[in-house]
Amino acid sequence: MAVVLVDAGGTNIGSVRYALQRLGVDAELTADAALIRAADKVILPGVGAAGPGMARLHELGLVELMRSLTQPVLGVCLGMQLLCRRSEEAEVDCLGLIPAHVQRFVEAPGMRVPHMGWNQLRVRKPHPLLSGLSEKDWAYFVHSYAVPVGDYTLVTADYGGEFSAVIAHDNFYGMQFHPERSAEVGAKLLKNFLVL
């Protein structure tokens, strides 16, 4: 099975690659359109801001390619947000693959932004991506912007209100948390993605 990590400049690329290696998959880091198109699974990692993330995809000539992919595609953290229609962060147009508008968390007493730390997951819809996931599971988040809950939401978490923690629309999937830093839960979800 060929798995590629899209080299969109995310700072978590190394840790995602290592998490996949622990599952027995050596994912190639690439910006080569032909390799991405030919892969069985595509992962778009990312840590940072939506504006520079989209600028990098435009610079690499990968925007239309990402939109045309038919194999399973997983966005992680910022990568998940880039799959959406638009982000409030710099009011940037994203890939438009998930019908959602990414919004910034509203700061409130006791709620610092960015949201950093472990948060409980709540399954809203059954899906093969979630095989083995339970209401007792937690994942590790670091983000200031979130995808609101919608028809595409498989799993939510709560930080001053519910937001999407795992999303799916057609062949596009997203995890707002860091599966590579979420211990057994993250490994389980990555493994599930690899067998979709």
pLDDT per position as a tens digit, 151-183: 999 999 999 999 999 999 999 999 999 999 999
**CATH number reported for the structural domain that contains residue 72 in this entry:** 3.40.50.880
**Residue 121 structural domain:** 3-194
| Residue 77 is among the residues annotated as catalytic for this protein | yes
Distance CA 32, CA 7 (A): 9
Catalytic (active site) residue 143: no
Q: Pick the catalytic residue: 84, 89, 115, 180?
A: 180
Q: What is the pLDDT of residue 14?
A: 84
The H or E element containing residue 194 is: helix 183-194
126 exposed, middle or buried (CB, 10 Å; 0-12, 13-18, 19+)? exposed
Rounded to whole angstroms, the Cα distance separating 175 from 161 reads 18
24 backbone φψ class: left, alpha, beta (φ>0; ψ -120 to 50): left
- Does pLDDT of 40 surpass 80? yes
Contact status, residue 128 vs residue 196, Cβ threshold 8 Å: yes
Distance CA 141, CA 139 (A): 7
180 is catalytic: yes
Of 59, 77, 84, 184, catalytic: 77
pLDDT value of residue 12? 73
pLDDT mean across residues, the chain: 95
Tokens of 86: 């638009």
Give the count of domains, the chain.
1
Q: Which of 12-21, 142-151, 158-167 has the lowest mean pLDDT?
A: 12-21
Structure tokens at 79: 């990568």
Give the pLDDT of residue 11. 65
- Active-site residue, from 89, 94, 115, 178: 178
Confidence check: pLDDT of 108 > 80: yes
Amino acid 10: pLDDT = 66
